[in-house]
Structure 1
Amino acid sequence: MAADVVSIGDSWLGYAIRKGLVEPINNAEEQDWNQKGEADSNGSVWGVPYRWGTVVIAYKKSKFKQHNLKPIQDWEDLWRPELAGKISMIDSPREVIGAVLKQLGSSYNTIDMETEVNGGREAVLNSFTQLQKQVQLFDSMNYLKSFGVGDVWVTVGWSSDVIPAAKRMSNVAVVVPKSGSSLWADLWAIPCATRFQTDRIGGRTRGPSPLIHQWFDFCLQSARSLPFRQEIIPGASPLFLENPAPEVLQDRNKKKPKLETNLVRGVAPPEILEKCEFLKPLSDKAVGDYQWLMSRVQRPRGGLLGNVLQRISTVLGLKSRF
């Protein structure tokens, strides 16, 4: 109730707008930081990105060397028989199905699985069923714990989670799949607190602070991108898109082992970045395909995967058939 701005992930922004939890940023067109980023030029600005990144795959180099396994390079590697039961993954519905679509050479934002995916919906169903057998744990809270203690050799998650954890471990490599991955962004948004009646001290009842635009300006200053370039903060500054060539920075801790990764200053190489995608809202046709998919996937008796399938149906607003 007291906050003038809050941080929200881009995948939740549409939900927050529909539920009236955030309000438009007024006079955005008058600010230096504003850039046209929406297809609708008359649309409102609802959030200001302050960092972004991608979904990555991390694997234990020591285990791969011990068992003479080839390094992870792309999504299709998750389906390798020797990695069955050795993978943990976030349980985000769009990321799970998205990995399946990428493995089949399609897009995260596929509108019609039957016409846009080689082999149609049956191919998606078959690949998803195989992925279930490969992944030991679908859990956005504990997937890195499982990876850290060695229960699994491979993990799939957001770079903001994975990179800091990987730096605390040894013999770990982190890669953005060469066929592209999903992009995420953290945004500043203004909570619609004035619609809530409250007499609590600190409650914001007179609209957002007139200083919020100064806060946005501050966050988007060139100097604020330095922690990203020094890899102190995981992710990348939005300013990277204007000046993608990373600076050559002096290594202040040369004794610290360098993480093996194809990320450069938190960003995928240009040839991979151009294949990456932000997740767009699902079309009605895509929701129908997801519903068809969920109705034909056999849910295990209990366990985390069953919860994931239930969550996918819930997120899509579908009535569960399980």
Structure 2
Amino acid sequence: MKKLLRFFITLLVTTAVLIFINSRLNASEGYSGENTLTVYNWGDYIDPELIKSFEKETGIKVIYETFDSNEAMMTKIEQGGTNYDVAVPSEYTIMKMVKKRQLIPLDHSKLSNLVNIDKRFMDLSFDPKNKYSIPYFWGTVGIVYNPSMLNGKKIASWEDLWDPDLKNQILLIDGAREVMGVGLNSLGYSLNDTNRNHLIEAQKKLETLMPNVKAIVGDEIKILLANEEAAVGLTWSGEASEAISNNENLDYVVPKEGSNLWFDNMVIPKTAKNIEGAHQFINFMLDPKNAAKNAEYVGYSTPNEQALQYMPKEMVNDKRFYPSPELTKKLEVYENLGKKNLAYYNELFLQFKMYKD
């Protein structure tokens, strides 16, 4: 009996010790406490020096975790488990997260640096009055091309992709909205079109582009273009900027018919435990000098209008990545199409890829 009693006492003591150790580990990893902040962002999407500066300025320890897709990020937040205080989803994902009640409304009174954001990028359809999100980076979908591989030929329109001289010279990013968008925009339709006849028409037109398509690829597109494995590529402006930095022969254009205007915004997920710290972090990133430093490191376009004065002139004057208001008016933000319509986009895109095979 005494042996049994000692066993249970030992078990209770061991359990108590493990619980204590676990609670200390959680606190040190940012899972609880006012002195920690867990940030969930895309990989290599912030200047590490800014995290150190924020920690020094506020005394808050930052735990930085990364995701590689909006869908993976949403699933992780929906499951709970980790108390993410700040996340950086894309615009259409923000609409989904609001609908699923995964976000906490922002207190704008705690975001004094919000005035620095360009008004063009505020109060957009995916988050009216920026109730749940604040712009972090923005960009476009367009065409990277290598004039030296095209006998000096320039590209200005989606229709230029159908030039017979581009046979087996085009790389497409592996994205249903982006590729279907080429077909839709070239026909004068909206990137958010849900008319089945229009979508089928766009797919059929894309099939006629196939002789010019060399491959449908992922993130490696910037490397392939920089290495001159193909003369033309459909990709995001950030990827284009990186490719150009590695090959000065490359150029980038947003087609004159229009294209996609994308955003990655900072939000506070429902999992947040340090809401005050989350507001401090967002406001810190909105400081013009911090935003400028971040934009130079990441290479994407900053929505922070006041940050531009602290950035190299060659960056902010580059109309390829900081297009004029006249052009941005022609650009469309992806809307949440709903499961049914998105599934149809994916179905048509899959058929298109099978057609390529």
TM-score between the two structures when normalised by the length of structure 1? 0.69
> Which protein has the bigger helix share?
2
Picking from 132, 157, 169, the partner of 1:86 is: 169
Partner of 1:71: 154
Q: Secondary structure at 1:238's aligned position in 2?
A: coil
Equivalent residue, structure 1, for 2:239 = 161
Task: Evaluate the alpha carbon distance shift between residue 247 and residue 39 of structure 1 in structure 2; reply closer, same or farther with a 3 A threshold.
Answer: closer
In structure 2, the partner of 1:236 is 301
Name stretches of at least 5 consecutive residues in structure 2 with no aligned partner.
1-81, 116-121
Distance 2:220 2:264 in 1: 21
The SS at the match of 2:261 is: strand
1:110 is displaced (CA, Å) by 1.8
Please list the CA deviations of residues 117-166 of structure 1 after superposition, one character each: whole Å capped at 9, or x if unmatched: xxx45532321212333222212222223222322111111111220221
Cα 1:173–1:296, aligned 2, differ >3 Å: closer, same or farther? closer
Secondary structure class of the residue paired with 2:177:
helix
Distance 1:30 1:221, change over 3 A: closer
Change (3 A) 1:265 1:233: farther
- The residue number in structure 2 matching 1:268 is 323
Q: 1:1-322 to 2 correspondence within 5 Å?
A: 1=82, 3-17=84-98, 22-28=102-108, 31-32=111-112, 33=114, 36-38=123-125, 45-65=131-151, 70-112=153-195, 114=197, 120-121=198-199, 123-193=201-271, 207-227=273-293, 233-240=298-305, 263-264=318-319, 266-282=321-337, 286-287=341-342, 290=345, 293=348, 299-300=354-355
2:150 aligned counterpart, secondary structure? helix
> What is the alpha-carbon distance in structure 1 between the residues aligned to residue 349 and residue 246 of structure 2?
37
Shift, 1:168, TM fit: 1.5
Q: Aligned to 1:237, what secondary structure does the other structure show?
A: coil
Q: Normalising by the residue count of structure 2, what TM-score does the alignment of the two structures yield? A: 0.63
How far apart, CA to CA, are the structure 2 residues paired with 1:19 and 1:39?
Answer: 14
Write out the 4+ residue segments of structure 1 that deviate beyond 6 Å after TM superposition. Answer: none
In structure 1, what is the Cα distance between the partners aligned to 2:206 and 2:299? 30
Relative to structure 1, is the Cα distance of residues 156 and 298 closer, same or farther in structure 2, using a 3 angstrom cutoff? closer
Q: Residue 159 of structure 2 aligns to which amino acid in structure 1?
A: E
Q: Distance in 2 between matches of 1:122 and 1:2?
A: 43
Q: 1:53 aligns to what SS in structure 2?
A: strand
User: 1:286, 1:102 → 2: CA distance?
Assistant: 18
Determine the C-alpha separation between the residues in 1 that align with 2:134 and 2:92.
14
Q: How far apart are the structure 1 equivalents of 2:173 and 2:303?
A: 25
Give secondary structure in 2 for the equivalent of 1:187: strand
Using the alignment, how far apart are the partners of 1:174 and 1:297 within structure 2?
Answer: 25
1:180–1:275: 8 Å Cα contact kept in structure 2? yes
1:208-264 deviation per Cα after TM superposition (whole angstroms, max 9, x unaligned): 3412212222222233343478x5542332233xx79x659766xxxxxx79x9943
Deviations along 1:71-94, one digit per CA (max 9) or x if unpaired, are 011111111111121111211110
Separation in structure 1 between the aligned mates of residue 142 and residue 252 of structure 2, nearest angstrom: 7
Q: Residue 153 and residue 264 in structure 1: after superposition, are their counterparts in 2 closer, same or farther (change >3 A)?
A: same
User: In structure 2, how many angstroms separate the alpha carbons of the residues matched to 1:133 and 1:124?
Assistant: 16
Assess if the C-alpha contact under 8 Å between 1:24 and 1:44 holds in 2: no
In 2 relative to 1, CA 181–208 (structure 1 residues): closer, same or farther, beyond 3 Å?
same
Cα 1:175–1:184 change in 2 (3 A) is same
Structure of greater Rg: 2
Report deviation, 1:173. 1.0
User: Once the two structures are aligned, what percentage of the paired residues are identical?
Assistant: 25
Describe the superposition over 1:173-232 as per-residue Cα deviations: whole angstroms up to 9, x where unpaired.
Answer: 1111122221111222234437xxxxxxxxxxxx23412212222222233343478x55
Alignment size in residue pairs: 269
